[in-house]
Amino acid sequence: MRMAPRGAEPFKIKMVEPIRLLPPAERQAAIKAAGFNIFSLPAEAVYIDLLTDSGTAAMSDRQWAAIMSGDESYAGSRSYYQLQQSVESIFGYRYLAPTHQGRAAEHILMTMMVKPGDRVLGNMHFDTTLGHTLLKNAEPVNLVTAAGLDPQVDAPFKGNIDLDRLQIELLRHASGEQHVPFVLITVTCNNNGGQPVSMANIRAASEMARRFGVPVFFDAARFAENCYFIREREPGYSNKTITEIAREMFGYGDGCTMSAKKDGLVNIGGFLAFASEDLYRRAVEWQIPFEGFATYGGLAGRDLAALAQGLTEVVELDYLAHRIQQVGYLAEMLDQIGVPRVRPTGGHGVYIDAGAVLPEMPRELFPGQAVTVALYLAGGVRGVELGSLAFAHVDPVTGETVYPARELVRLAVPRRVYTDRHMEHVAAAAAEMWTRRAELPGYAIEYEAPVLRHFTARLRPV
């Protein structure tokens, strides 16, 4: 347990939602009924839910007050203008198009900009970004540095773009060999464990892209966490506010897509924001048919109002310091137990290296799923497998199974929902899983869907 007083949660609690740890026999029955798949568990059977940090944040009293005063006008809602002001003051982008989620913003950006055969460059695209790129018959290109991909390298900015590879891609674009519609920088890099991108890397990538006349956009889902890491880890930023850092960062781009379900501190929502009116006009052409009128974009006025307030709270230093420390506290406790994990700790969760927890278990028996089920049985904790169950697939040409690089289990921490005491319970469950690791069964698939099987698969222990 942490002994020196580093400061506790920077909020007090004025509304509670009861949660219950089911007795062990009931947890056993629940996971069996769910086909040993945590996606099929009713949330009520879960004590501490670390499935995702998306849409799971607790809103503040001020956000709830904003909900009550949201303006539901179809056009020109007051809540839209509040959101526009919040976004402009933090991102520096004047032109705002709300959407119902982050992926809707991606859909619009891709529809505006991407043609078949294009190469969409980025550090590492999120799943939905990758999906939208493929839907446009374009090619998603991940240019994250080699060090960023090595789980043993403890570097400060493992979300950085490899600038040499970026230059090669842009030179091919300039020579007409290929077309690059834009560079998309994802901050923090979700699919690489929530690792941040440095300001120096963003600046260099942006200068290079602009020299070649290629626009730069941000996938800003966790922009505040990225800015906090810049403040902590990059020389020259320790005296700046998060908003000052965000303004500099977004200044290197032409606009962004945002999933407000992360650093918007709301349960639903997203947006596109642009520096130029021209890009905005093109986005609205697609926003209106797909999402809704320009000033609501598939959201209720009250959702816009809660997001306008949430953005002002997510850039507060006290909030971010606690957020990042809480994730770090869970990681430290796992280190003390000896549970292997991906380093360094990212912004929004801890990634257990299940392949190293169960080195003897063949990958066909899903070691990540074995650890995930063991955590649930030990303490009602729901994490998620990000290994062979989620990502292994059969190569259509060779007929052989292609395995992902690693067998991971992610414990994603929702924002402002759990206390550090809850994290201690999670660590205790991990300790029990670790003690019993020699006895953990592997799993075999009883049912699987042809695509995205991990969401609905049924398994049995073997």
Give the residue numbers marked as catalytic: 74, 126-127, 219, 221, 262, 454
* Residue 259 touching ligand PLP (CB under 6 A): yes
Q: Which stretch binds ligand PLP (CB under 6 A): 126-134, 157-165, 205-213, 436-444?
A: 126-134
- The amino acid present at 267, given as its one-letter code, is N
Nearer to ligand PLP, 143 or 221 (CB): 221
Alpha helices in 150-222, H assignment, sequence order:
163-174, 199-211
Q: Which stretch binds ligand PLP (CB under 6 A): 116-124, 257-265, 327-335, 428-436?
A: 257-265
The CB-of-141 to ligand PLP minimum distance in angstroms stands at: 16
Q: Tell me which residue of 77, 27, 97 sits closest to 297, measured CA to CA.
A: 97
Nearer to ligand PLP, 386 or 430 (CB): 386
Nearer to ligand PLP, 77 or 186 (CB): 186
Nearer to ligand PLP, 39 or 212 (CB): 39
Distance, in Å, from the CA atom of 75 to the CA atom of 54, rounded to the nearest integer, reads 28
The CB-of-219 to ligand PLP minimum distance in angstroms stands at: 5
Nearer to ligand PLP, 102 or 355 (CB): 102
Distance, in Å, from the CA atom of 269 to the CA atom of 361, rounded to the nearest integer, reads 41
Exposed e or buried b for every residue in 404-418, given b needs 16+ CB within 10 A?
Answer: bebbbbbbbbbbbeb
* Residue 341 touching ligand PLP (CB under 6 A): no
Q: In the range 215-234, which residues lie near ligand PLP by CB under 6 A? A: 219, 221
Q: Which stretch binds ligand PLP (CB under 6 A): 67-75, 109-117, 123-131, 328-336?
A: 123-131
Do 328 and 250 contact (CB within 8 A), yes or no? Answer: no
341 forms bridges with which residues in the sheet? 352
When binding is defined by CB under 6 A, the residue of 107, 132, 136, 261 that contacts ligand PLP is 261
Distances (CA, A) of 163 to 200, 218, 252: 11, 17, 15
Do 350 and 224 contact (CB within 8 A), yes or no? Answer: no
Q: Which stretch binds ligand PLP (CB under 6 A): 100-108, 143-151, 313-321, 353-361?
A: 100-108
Do 430 and 339 contact (CB within 8 A), yes or no? Answer: yes
> Rounded to 5 degrees, what are φ and ψ at 61?
-60, -35
Binding residue count for ligand PLP, defined by CB under 6 A: 15
* Residue 126 touching ligand PLP (CB under 6 A): yes
Q: Tell me which residue of 8, 16, 30 sits closest to 382, measured CA to CA.
A: 30
329: its two tokens? 């506290």
Do 105 and 288 contact (CB within 8 A), yes or no? Answer: no
Distance, in Å, from the CA atom of 260 to the CA atom of 101, rounded to the nearest integer, reads 7
Distance, in Å, from the CA atom of 451 to the CA atom of 41, rounded to the nearest integer, reads 20
What is the pattern of x (binds ligand PLP, CB under 6 A) and - over residues 33-62? ---------------------x--------
Hey, how many other C-beta atoms are within 10 angstroms of the C-beta on 358?
Answer: 22
Q: Which stretch binds ligand PLP (CB under 6 A): 206-214, 259-267, 384-392, 435-443?
A: 259-267
Do 412 and 50 contact (CB within 8 A), yes or no? Answer: yes
Distances (CA, A) of 457 to 41, 211, 247, 352, 444: 12, 48, 44, 22, 10
What is the pattern of x (binds ligand PLP, CB under 6 A) and - over residues 177-206? ---------x---x----------------
C-alpha R_g of the chain: 22
The CB-of-123 to ligand PLP minimum distance in angstroms stands at: 10
Which residue number has the CB closest to ligand PLP? 102
384: its two tokens? 């998620």
Nearer to ligand PLP, 34 or 189 (CB): 189
The CB-of-257 to ligand PLP minimum distance in angstroms stands at: 7
The CB-of-187 to ligand PLP minimum distance in angstroms stands at: 8
End-to-end CA distance of the chain: 36
The CB-of-346 to ligand PLP minimum distance in angstroms stands at: 12
The CB-of-64 to ligand PLP minimum distance in angstroms stands at: 21
* Residue 345 touching ligand PLP (CB under 6 A): no
The CB-of-300 to ligand PLP minimum distance in angstroms stands at: 16
Where along the sequence are the contacts to ligand PLP (CB under 6 A)? 54, 101-103, 126, 128-129, 186, 190, 219, 221, 259, 261-262, 270
